[in-house]
Amino acid sequence: MSNVDLNKYKDFVEAVTSADSNDTKSFTERLTALDTETGVNMSLLLTGAIGMSSEGGEFAEIVKKCVFQGKELSADNIDHLKSELGDIAWYWINSCRAIGVDPNDVIAGNVNKLKKRYIGGEFDVFASENRAEGDR
């Protein structure tokens, strides 16, 4: 097995990373351009995206400990899961606000997407793995 030179890898990673990720000035200019061009509240969008990811991680951590590490799935832990779901919902609503969409429309779109995917209204392994073009 060959040795890896992590400093060479670091240089490679820098070269294949966008200017907006590598440089704060480029990043802030991109945020300003997106905010101006689209009307999307980029600060709120970033808050929502990072917050949902963070809170989702906290939710997953509780589940991981109960499933794989012997932590009791107690009423207290279920209450903690419920609290994390509330935090996820808070960030999700802020994300809806950031891009100017009605959260009811988001859920309606999800229901319609799943109705198309699962014709007959029941989960199907084949349909879950073999989606139609454009089915996200």
* Domain assignment of residue 10, given as a range: 1-39
Residues 70, 88: one domain?
A: yes
pLDDT over 90 (residue 95):
yes
- Average pLDDT of every residue of the chain: 96
| Shared-domain flag, residues 93 and 109 | no
What is the Cα–Cα distance from 131 to 134, expressed in whole angstroms?
Answer: 8
Asked if 24 and 72 sit in the same domain, the reply is no
Q: What total of structural domains would you count in the chain?
A: 3
In whole angstroms, what is the distance from residue 127 CA to residue 132 CA? 9
93 and 106, same domain (yes or no):
no
Are 79 and 129 in a shared domain? no
Indicate if the pLDDT at residue 125 is higher than 80: yes
10-61 pLDDT per residue, tens: 999 999 999 999 999 999 999 999 999 999 999 999 999 999 999 999 999 9
Among 112, 93, 111, 113, which Cα is nearest to 103's?
93
Name residue, tokens 């919902």: 89
pTM of the model: 0.86
Same domain, 87 and 62: yes
